[in-house]
A and B are shown apart, each in its own frame.
Chain A
Amino acid sequence: MIAVETLTFGHRGAPAPVLRDIGFTLAPGQVTTLLGPNGSGKTSLLRCVAGHWRPQAGRVLLGGDDVAALSARDRAKRLALVPQDQGVAFSYSVRDMVLMGRGPHVGPFGMPGGADRDMARQALEAVGIAALADRDIRRISGGERQLALVARALAQATPALLLDEPTSHLDLRNQLAVRARIRDIGRDRGLTVLMTLHDPNLALMFADRVLLLKDGRVVADDRPDRAITESTVHAVYGVAADVRENGGRRWIVPRDME
Chain B
Amino acid sequence: MTLKAVLIFVAPLVIGVAALFVGAYGLAPSDVIAALPGGRSAAAASVVRDVRLPRGILAGLGGASLAGSGATLQAVFRNPLVDPFLLGISSGAALGCAIGVGFLPFLPVPLLAFLFGLGAVALTWGLGRGVGGDDRLSMVLAGVVVSALFTALVSLVKVMVDPLRLQSIVFWLMGSFSLANWRHVAIAGTGAAIGLVPMILFRWRLNMLSLGDEEAAGLGIDVRRMRFLFVAATTLAAATAVSVSGVVGWIGLMVPHLVRMATGPDHCRSLPLSIAGGAAFMIAADTLARSLVSWEVPVGIVTALAGAPFFAMIMRRGRSRWAP
Contact = CB atoms under 8 A, between A and B. Distances in A.
A137 to B, nearest CB: 10
A90 B75 CA distance: 8
A81 B207 CA distance: 17
Contacts of B79: 89
A88 B218 contact: no
Interface string A82-119: 01001011111100100011011110011110000000
A146 to B, nearest CB: 14
A73 interface: yes
Nearest to B79: A89
Given A50-B218, A76-B219, A136-B323, A89 B266 contact: no
A71 interface: yes
B312 interface: no
Q: What band does the interface of chain B fall in when counting residues whose beta carbon is under 8 Å from A?
A: 20 to 34
A109 B264 contact: no
Interface stretch (B53-61, B147-155, B209-217, B241-249): B209-217
Contacts of B265: 90-92, 96
Nearest to B212: A86
A81 B321 CA distance: 30
Contacts of B207: 92, 96, 100
Interface residues of A, number: 34
B159 to A, nearest CB: 41
A47 B219 CA distance: 14
Contact of B218 (A80, A105, A106, A136): A80
Contacts of A76: 217-220
A88 B211 contact: yes
Contact of A109 (B202, B219, B223): B202
A80 B208 CA distance: 14
A57 interface: no
Nearest to A82: B218
A101 B210 CA distance: 14
Given A72-B223, A89-B79, A111-B204, A52 B266 contact: no
Nearest to B202: A109
Contacts of B119: none
A81 B80 CA distance: 26
A83 to B, nearest CB: 6
A141 B260 CA distance: 22
A159 to B, nearest CB: 15
A81 to B, nearest CB: 4
Interface of B: 75, 78-80, 201-202, 204-205, 207-208, 210-212, 214-215, 217-223, 260, 264-266, 268, 321, 323-324
In the A-B complex, list the 5 residue pairs whose CB atoms are closest, starting with the nearest: A104-B220, A76-B220, A103-B219, A90-B265, A103-B220
Given A76-B218, A80-B218, A89-B79, 11 more contacts: A51-B217, A71-B222, A77-B220, A83-B218, A88-B211, A90-B324, A92-B266, A96-B266, A103-B208, A103-B219, A103-B221
